[in-house]
Amino acid sequence: MIGRRIRTAGSVIAAGLWLATANPAAAQVGAFIDSLFGHKEEPAPQPEAAPAAPAPAKKPTPKAKEASKEAKPGSAKSGKAGDKADRKPTEPKVAAVGAPTAIVTGDSADPATLLAQANAYFNGIGTLTGSFMQIGADGRRIGGKLTLAKPGRLRFDYDQPSPLEVIADGTSVAVRDRKLNTQDLYFIAQTPLKFLLREKIDLARDLTVTDVANDPGGVRISLEDRATLGGTSKIQLFFDAEMKTLSQWRITDPQGYVTTVTLSNLQKGKSVDGSLFFINYGRAEDKAMQQQIQQSQQ
């Protein structure tokens, strides 16, 4: 059984300070979580009990925050977690592009066209796999494997010596420690990684575009997400010159700390095992599903 520790995002900071000397790799993951969710105190999510398809968790009201301290988390997942992961991606559909603000472009760049191409890239993804290298604000590097199945499911498996893995199931985000057999839960709704998690996105409508530019190595799109927990996060997306591959993203959290993630060996449309995104919330059906997954892996 996976031990479960329900933490606020702020508690990750305190843990990260201790881990900075005890386990640099774990401290890096803590910094990554902070870059996703900010540093504001917020209770862990309370997933719905119904086994319906997951939906993004809503930010709780003050009364819900108090109630969540005593409530036992249920499960938002059923045994059909992997149904959508195996579907082939549909043909890319470009959502309407809103009017970006403060656009700065190169001589040959057309902001509307570049944004439409970026929307088509993200909206054309059904599944995505590859490798990543995370560079923290202190310059430390740690790599791993990335697995995505839209909508809402994302997994980061960190290389050794880190025992951690970050999993989003469409409702919550769990940070698991394979060595300690524990997991911490966070809200998914306030993550700035909307461009990866949503089934369909329009960057100019869903975020604030502040810059579109042709850099020497490719195209750079700068965004702001004011809905991020803890304040506004700044996001930069880096594509190749032909807008066919996302090579890097860079997130500046509300406190000014920068986390860079570079991507390599990306494959779109590859079949993905839905059980990779399973989160055990402690319910009976979760425990049964956990056993089935473990047996299938033996």
| 164, 175 Cβ separation under 8 angstroms | yes
Q: DSSP state, 229? A: T
Closest CA relative to residue 87, chosen from 268, 266, 296? 268
Q: 27 in helix, strand or coil?
A: helix
CATH class entry, domain 3-46+88-270: mainly beta
Q: Model's pTM, two decimal places?
A: 0.67
From first to last of the 298 residues of the chain, give the pLDDT tens digit.
Answer: 444 454 433 333 223 322 333 355 555 566 666 555 544 334 445 555 444 444 444 444 444 444 444 444 443 333 443 443 344 333 333 333 333 333 444 445 589 999 999 999 999 999 999 999 999 888 889 999 999 999 999 999 999 888 889 999 998 888 898 889 888 888 777 677 877 888 899 999 989 999 999 888 899 999 998 877 667 889 999 999 999 999 999 999 888 889 999 999 999 999 999 999 999 998 999 989 988 988 888 7
The pLDDT score that the predictor gives to residue 197 is: 87
CA angle 164, 11, 61 (to 5 degrees): 110
CA 56 to chain centre: 12
Closest CA relative to residue 33, chosen from 197, 164, 215, 205? 164
State the burial class of residue 52 (Cβ atoms within 10 Å of its Cβ: 0-12, 13-18, 19+). Answer: exposed
Tell whether the torsion through CA atoms of 92, 98, 102 and 105 is positive or negative.
Answer: positive
| 148, 110 Cβ separation under 8 angstroms | no
Query: Residue 104 contacts by C-beta under 8 Å, 6 or more apart in sequence?
Result: 211, 212, 213
Give me the sheet containing 182-187, strands edge to edge. 3-6, 182-187, 172-177, 164-169, 153-158, 141-149, 127-135, 258-268, 246-252, 233-239, 218-225, 208-215
The pLDDT score that the predictor gives to residue 295 is: 84
Helix ranges (H only) for the chain are 9-22, 24-37, 62-68, 111-123, 194-197, 203-206, 284-296
| 164, 178 Cβ separation under 8 angstroms | yes
Residue boundaries of the structural domains of the chain: 3-46+88-270
Strand partners, 127: 149
Q: What is the DSSP string of 59-122?
A: PPPHHHHHHHTTPPP-----TTTTTGGGSPPPPP-PPPP---SS----TT--HHHHHHHHHHHH
Q: Which residue has the tokens 């202190």?
A: 138
Q: Which residue has the tokens 């540093």?
A: 39
